[in-house]
């Protein structure tokens, strides 16, 4: 096992990671896009993007696109390379505000999170369409893991934290 650092909230870090990975000349059979933040207060990435959109969507978008050629070279007719992107059922209530993707006009942690997850779903659907149209041996899937007991809930209202603490063992994965 070898560790390569990648901060998905930093476009520079993503580019450095891809450069280091490519230098190893290793195949890439599976890319799992699973990093993210949820319901964070209004703040920006080092590149100036709203954090939900920057980390949850743009980071995965850039990483996937920079590694796509490696994935295509790694996929074979008998064994496709795979891109698995973790989203959330929250995407159902998300709206893409094309004139305000950075949530500058009216910031809502819930709205920003839902928009980032909707963007991931739409990106993955479009990517899969393009991969299929080009006969590529790469598949792109987006998944919802359900409610999982993680630190993503650290920015929720204290009452919800108490309820989570009391019920997570029963209802959360």
d(CA 118, CA 27): 30
Active site residue 107: no
**Among residues 107, 113, 125, 153, which one is catalytic?**
113
CB 102 within 8 A of CB 50: yes
Q: Which residue numbers are catalytic?
A: 113
């Amino acid at each position: 096992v070898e560790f390569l650092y990648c901060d998905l909230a930093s476009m520079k870090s993503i580019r450095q990671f891809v450069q280091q990975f490519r230098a190893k000349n290793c195949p890439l059979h599976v890319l799992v896009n699973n990093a993210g933040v949820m319901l964070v207060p209004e703040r920006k990435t080092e590149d100036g993007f709203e954090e939900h959109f920057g980390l949850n969507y743009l980071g995965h978008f850039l990483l996937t696109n920079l590694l796509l050629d490696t994935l295509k070279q790694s996929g074979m007719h008998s064994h496709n390379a795979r891109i698995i992107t973790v989203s959330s059922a929250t995407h159902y209530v998300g709206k893409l505000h094309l004139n305000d993707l950075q949530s500058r006009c009216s910031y809502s942690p819930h709205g920003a999170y839902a928009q980032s997850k909707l963007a991931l779903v739409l990106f993955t659907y479009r990517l899969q369409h393009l991969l299929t149209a080009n006969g590529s041996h790469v598949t792109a899937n987006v998944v919802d893991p359900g409610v999982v007991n993680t630190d993503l809930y650290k920015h929720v209202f204290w009452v919800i934290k108490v309820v989570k603490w009391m019920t997570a063992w029963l209802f959360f994965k």
